[in-house]
Amino acid sequence: MTTMTPAEKIELALIPVIGIGFWLAASLLPDQMSLGSLLINASALLLLQGFFRDLWLLSKQKKTSPDLQRKMQCMCAESTFGMTGILFGIILLGVGIDLAVPMPQPQWGWSVLVMIIMTIGFLIKDYVIEWHPFRVYKDLDHINIIFTWKK
């Protein structure tokens, strides 16, 4: 079993803090939203969480030698799920599917939804989805992977 880094402990502690923030701000948020909009917003939160984590990692990382960088046909799981959710949300809105999703108990609903999304983001942060050959694997140092479409 691996021990958590201080940054991971801070990120984990921030999840309920941000959940409380959404609980406090729930009166400013809608009681319902279209499925497409909900997908876009949830996916954007997932991507935003990964973005801030990557900024933190980059700020702490020493200059990476080109020897450590690898070009691969893959993306981190967070980015893959985030971009897929945004794409599906845009498609749903674009074709006019306006399925309203009510937020149960709006104050708690938003708070719990945000904490679930951020917990999922935390749990999948180290996973990479490679498509040639297809596989999903854990890579703690995937910040050094350079995304490419070519083999």
Q: pLDDT tens digit string along 85-138?
A: 999 999 999 999 889 999 888 778 999 999 999 999 999 999 998 887 888 988
Spatial CA neighbour of 81 closest among 106, 45, 114 = 45
Residues 132-142: tens digit of each pLDDT:
788 898 887 77
Amino acid at 61: Q
Res. 64: pLDDT tops 70 = no
In this predicted structure, what is the pLDDT of residue 63?
64
- % pLDDT > 70, the chain: 93
In this predicted structure, what is the pLDDT of residue 66?
63
Integer CA distances (angstroms), 48 to 21, 23, 41, 43, 100, in order: 16, 19, 10, 9, 24
